[in-house]
Amino acid sequence: PLRIKFFMWFVRKQVILTKDNLAKRNWTGSRRSSLCDHDESIKHLFLDCPMAKVLWRSIHIAFNIAPPTSINTLFVTWLNEVEIETTIHIRIGVCALLWA
């Protein structure tokens, strides 16, 4: 869906309104993640958070692909490790998981 495409574009540009990005806009709320007790950033939310690590481990077990180490590697190199026949299905699945 188009909303997921836009969302993924925002993730790639690292402009999702995570709490660290909100603080740059003079937001005064807590910077702590709602999912764990760490400061919320795009990298933390999608890669380092314990909830995200469970999802990446599941993908690793299911498809034998090592999790990405940064947002940049998610888009630039990570999907290149996937076999050509299954790339589109894994891309759709990963995008849906990140969006959810």
SS3 39: strand
Give residue 68's Cα distance to chain centre: 9
DSSP state of 84: G
pLDDT of residue 83: 56
Average pLDDT, the chain: 84
Q: Taking the model in full, what pTM does it have?
A: 0.77
Rounded CA-CA distance 62/3 in Å is: 26
pLDDT class for 25, splitting at 50, 70, 90? very high
Q: Give the domain ranges of the chain.
A: 2-99
Residues 28-72: pLDDT tens digits?
A: 998 898 888 899 999 999 899 998 999 889 888 887 778 888 988
Residue pair 39/33 in contact by the 8 Å Cβ criterion: yes
